Chains A and B, each alone.
Chain A
Amino acid sequence: MKYVLSRLFYSILVLWIVGTILFFMFRLMPGSPLAAFIDQTTTLEQQQALIARFGLDKSLFEQYLIFIQNVLQGDLGQSFFHRRPVTDVVMEALPNTVILTMSGLVVAYVFGVLAGAYLAWRRGTTVEGIGIPLALATRAAPEFWLGMVLLAFFSFHLGWFPAGGANTVGLSYDSEWERIFTLDYLRHLALPVLTLAIYLQGLPLLLMRSNMIEILQEEFVTMGKMKGLSSRTIVLNHAARNAMLPVATAFALGVGSAIGGNVVVETIFSWPGIGRLLVNAVSASDYPLAQGAFLIITAVLIAMNFIADMTYHLLDPRIRLAASN
Chain B
Amino acid sequence: MSITRRKFLSTSASGALVASLAGLPKVALAQATTPVRALTLYSRAQAANPQQYQAAELIAQVWSDLGLDVTVSGLPQNQLSDVVWYNRDSWDVTMWQMVGRPERSDPDEFVMNLFHSQNIEVGYNFVGYNNPEYDRVAEAQRLEMDREARKALIYQAQEIINQDQPYLFLVYPTKSYAFDKTVFDAATMVNQPGLGIKNFLSFTNVQPLGDQKDLIMNTANELNAINPYYISGAGDSWMTELIWDRIMRIGEDGLPKPSGAESVTWNDEGTLATITMREGMTFHDGEPVRVEDLMFSLQSPQQAGVAPMYKPFVDPIVALEKIDDRTFTLELAQPNAAFETSTLAKLNIIPEHIWGPLLANLSEGESAEAVLEESRVGSGPFKFNRWNQSEVVLDAVADHFAAPKVERLIMRVVLNVEAALGMLRSGELNFLTDYTGDPQLLIDAAAADGDIEVVDVTDIGFQYLAFNCRRAPFDDPAFRRALSFAVNRRLITGAAYNGFGRPANSHVSPALPFWYDAATEEVPMGMDVVTAMLEDAGYSIVDGALHYPAGVSEQY
Contact = CB atoms under 8 A, between A and B. Distances in A.
A145 interface: no
A162 B416 CA distance: 13
B113 A35 contact: no
A41 B78 contact: no
Size bin of chain B's contact surface: 35 or more
Contacts of A81: 224-225, 232
Contact of B365 (A52, A92, A164): A52
B369 A169 contact: no
B76 interface: yes
Interface string B212-239: 0010100000101101001110000000
A170 B312 CA distance: 37
Interface string B73-88: 0001111011001100
B413 interface: yes
A261 interface: no
Contacts of B78: 30-32, 35-36, 283-285
B121 interface: yes
A159 B427 CA distance: 11
Given A35-B81, A83-B372, A162-B428, A47 B122 contact: yes
Nearest to A79: B224
Interface in B295-318: 305, 308-309, 311-313
A240 interface: no
B368 to A, nearest CB: 10
Interface stretch (B170-178, B384-392, B481-489): B384-392
A164 B414 contact: yes
Contact of B231 (A40, A167, A270, A285): A40
Contacts of B284: none
Contacts of A49: 305, 308, 365, 367
A169 B428 contact: yes
A268 B308 CA distance: 36
Which 6 pairs show the lowest CB-CB distances between chains A and B? Answer: A272-B389, A31-B78, A35-B81, A35-B78, A46-B308, A156-B422
Contacts of B313: 41
Nearest to A52: B365
Of residues A36, A38, A41, A266, which shows the largest number of chain B Cβ atoms within 10 Å of its Cβ?
A41
Given A53-B366, A155-B426, A163-B419, 8 more contacts: A32-B78, A40-B231, A43-B123, A50-B308, A53-B365, A167-B390, A170-B216, A170-B410
A3 to B, nearest CB: 41
10 contacts: A38-B81, A40-B309, A41-B309, A42-B122, A43-B312, A166-B390, A170-B408, A267-B416, A272-B389, A272-B413
Contact of A170 (B79, B225, B393): B393
B82 A31 contact: yes
A93 interface: yes
A179 to B, nearest CB: 9
A32 B122 CA distance: 15
Given A32-B86, A35-B77, A164 B232 contact: no
Interface string A159-181: 10011111101101000000000
B173 to A, nearest CB: 16
Contacts of A283: 76-78
- Of A53, A148, A152, which is in contact with the most chain B CB atoms at under 10 Å from its CB? A53
Interface of B: 76-79, 81-82, 85-86, 99, 113, 121-124, 214, 216, 222, 224-225, 227, 230-232, 305, 308-309, 311-313, 365-367, 369-370, 372, 385-386, 388-391, 393, 408, 410, 412-416, 418-419, 422-423, 425-426, 428-429
A84 interface: yes
A209 interface: no
Contacts of A162: 423, 426, 428
A82 interface: yes
A183 interface: no
B413 A270 contact: yes
B370 A83 contact: yes
Given A44-B121, A53-B365, A164-B416, A84 B372 contact: yes
A269 interface: yes
Contacts of B386: 172
A34 interface: yes
Given A162-B428, A270-B390, A35 B82 contact: yes
Contacts of A83: 224-225, 227, 230, 369-370, 372
B426 A30 contact: no
A15 B76 CA distance: 29
Contacts of A69: none
A53 B390 contact: no
Interface in A1-60: 30-32, 34-36, 38-44, 46-47, 49-50, 52-53
A203 to B, nearest CB: 26
Contacts of B81: 31-32, 35-36, 38
Contact of B391 (A34, A169, A277): A169
Contacts of A285: 78
A50 B232 CA distance: 14
A49 B122 CA distance: 14
Contacts of B366: 53
B534 to A, nearest CB: 34
A284 B113 CA distance: 25
A169 B415 contact: no
Contacts of A159: 426
Contacts of A52: 365
Most A CB within 10 A of own CB, among B222, B225, B372: B222
B225 A163 contact: no
B444 to A, nearest CB: 13
Contacts of A63: none
A187 B389 CA distance: 18
B389 A30 contact: no
Contact of A269 (B369, B372, B416): B416
Contact of B312 (A41, A148, A270): A41
Contacts of A125: none
